[in-house]
Amino acid sequence: MAHPSTVGITVIGGGIVGLATARALVRSGIEGVRVVEKEAAVAQHQSTHNSGVLHAGLQYRPGSAKARLAREGIRRMTEFCQENRITHEICGKLVVATDASELGRLDDMLERGRANGLEGLRRLSPGEVREIEPHVDCRAAIRVPEEGIVDFGAVCRALERENERAGVEIVRGAEVRALPREGREWRVVTTAGELTSRVIVNCAGLFADRVAELAGSPPKARIVPFRGEYRRLRPESEHLVRHLVYPLPEPGFPFLGVHFTRRIGGGVDAGPSAVLAFAREGYDRSTVNLLDLIQAGTFVGLWRFTGRHHRMVARELAQSFDRRRFVRALRRLVPEIRAEDLHPGSSGVRAQAVLPSGDFVHDFLWVDDSAAVHVVNAPSPAATASLAIGEEIARRAMRQLA
Ligand SMILES: Cc1cc2nc3c(=O)[nH]c(=O)nc-3n(C[C@H](O)[C@H](O)[C@H](O)COP(=O)(O)OP(=O)(O)OC[C@H]3O[C@@H](n4cnc5c(N)ncnc54)[C@H](O)[C@@H]3O)c2cc1C
């Protein structure tokens, strides 16, 4: 590889978070920024296998990093899209309570949203909901006017272009395999050769815990992959959903429950589910990775999690195999939906950090170490919030450089 020189900061992982971090570094005047990506092109995993929704921070705990950075992030992302002429649409979202037992949680969510500073939130009656989404049946709903849809792939391509114009070196096809320290420098050993760097920033997404381990800082929390499977409404059934329709999230889970998402490029998706995956990059049921499986199987946190939430784990698995079960979950939102309205869609795998106790890490999590910053947990809404996250991580990395 023709990149032997030492740079100031090496970002490991060219997903939306790594690209946004590199951008924030060069915009702060840092020279010598490099992004090392294992795939032949950037953003081949979570950043382009998601729902494409711009989240405004409705349901996150007030004061959490997710709440703060989603607020700031959606504003930044919308501006970035406008500046770069990236198609996006602030179409608004409905979160619906489908039976009376959910009304209390709906009101709590409304309060949370207001505490997080969301603007224009409204509680709607079933009649008001029908004016916006004529096929949705519910007891009440919250309308979130600030949220919308975007093509995060186009955002990543724009970030990649901007970074390269600003002098960021992007090394593709280089998987980081070892990170020994030599004096005050890191030797970044990749499948395409070796580099040296003063500071490393780990933005490796589904492999963030492994990269942290390579750097001698194994995190307490491990990444557990949850596959999200989508089904797509057939064109003749698309009229059943106009915008974004979400159920109330299940208490204790970071995933939002199957919902309807209109895509910026056209079409309406239902999903994603949250099935425990047998491979960190297992985009279908048949993909199994032995190392991933062994690591997951020997992680006590996963056993504790599945023991505690076996119903949810079994339900998601059953929905993956049985289309009718998946449709039943969707019918709670749109009773007219039938299995024939859907055909198989795409999928994505979420990197979710789980603690040895079996608890999810709900908030974003980054760990500062000597000459290193590790982004250990950056699940949804990290794509929306990526520009704000990138600034936060860049500040931390610059402190390590000083
Ligand atoms: C199904 C699904 C739906 C989602 N929906 C939304 C949504 O609607 N809105 C939203 O805001 N967020 C959403 N998210 C979350 C969002 O996509 C992620 O939070 C975000 O993309 C994380 O970006 P990242 O850069 O951390 O990870 P990634 O995009 O996974 O990037 C990590 C990169 O690191 C590289 N890498 C890994 N290991 C190495 C190594 N050893 N050496 C070199 N490179 C390495 C990988 O190849 C990859 O390119 C969703 C996620 C999923 C999976």
Q: Which two tokens stand for residue 283?
A: 């985009």
Amino acid at 35: V
Pocket test for ligand 1, best of 3, 35, 47, 347 (most atoms within 8 A of CB): 47
Q: Ligand 1: does its nearest atom lie under 6 Å from the Cβ of 6?
A: no
Q: Ligand 1: does its nearest atom lie under 6 Å from the Cβ of 88?
A: no
Q: 23-52 burial by CB neighbour count: b if 16+ within 10 A, else e?
A: bbbbeeebebbbbbbbbeebbbbbbbbbbb
Q: Ligand 1: does its nearest atom lie under 6 Å from the Cβ of 393?
A: no
Domains and CATH numbers, the chain: 6-47+153-221+362-401 (3.50.50.60), 93-145 (no CATH), 222-243+251-360 (3.30.9)
Q: Ligand 1: does its nearest atom lie under 6 Å from the Cβ of 15?
A: yes
Pairwise CA distance, residues 256 & 248, whole Å = 7
User: From ligand 1's centre to the CA of 402, what distance in Å?
Assistant: 29
What pLDDT is stored for residue 105 in this prediction?
96
CA 8 remoteness from chain centre: 28
99, 52, 383: which is closest to 243 by C-alpha? 52
- Of ligand 1's atoms, which has the minimum distance to the CA of residue 378? 19
What pLDDT is stored for residue 251 in this prediction?
81
- Of ligand 1's atoms, which has the minimum distance to the CA of residue 349? 53
Q: Which two tokens stand for residue 102?
A: 């959910």
What pLDDT is stored for residue 322 in this prediction?
87
Q: Ligand 1: does its nearest atom lie under 6 Å from the Cβ of 207?
A: yes
User: From ligand 1's centre to the CA of 12, what distance in Å?
Assistant: 12
Contacts of 176 (CB under 8 A, 6+ apart): 12, 36, 38, 188, 189, 190, 204, 211, 214
Pairwise CA distance, residues 96 & 140, whole Å = 6
Pocket test for ligand 1, best of 58, 253, 280, 380 (most atoms within 8 A of CB): 380
Q: Ligand 1: does its nearest atom lie under 6 Å from the Cβ of 12?
A: yes
Pocket test for ligand 1, best of 19, 36, 45 (most atoms within 8 A of CB): 45
Q: Where on the phi/psi map is residue 81: left (φ > 0), alpha (ψ -120 to 50), or beta?
A: alpha
Pairwise CA distance, residues 325 & 138, whole Å = 20
Q: State which residues of the chain have pLDDT below 50.
A: 1-2
42, 35, 155, 23: which is closest to 88 by C-alpha? 155
User: From ligand 1's centre to the CA of 17, what distance in Å?
Assistant: 8
User: From ligand 1's centre to the CA of 47, what distance in Å?
Assistant: 4
Q: Ligand 1: does its nearest atom lie under 6 Å from the Cβ of 346?
A: no
- What would the pLDDT profile of 229-267 be if each residue is shown by its tens digit? 999 999 999 999 999 999 998 887 778 788 999 999 999
What pLDDT is stored for residue 2 in this prediction?
44
**pTM score, whole prediction:** 0.97
User: From ligand 1's centre to the CA of 208, what distance in Å?
Assistant: 10
User: From ligand 1's centre to the CA of 327, what distance in Å?
Assistant: 27
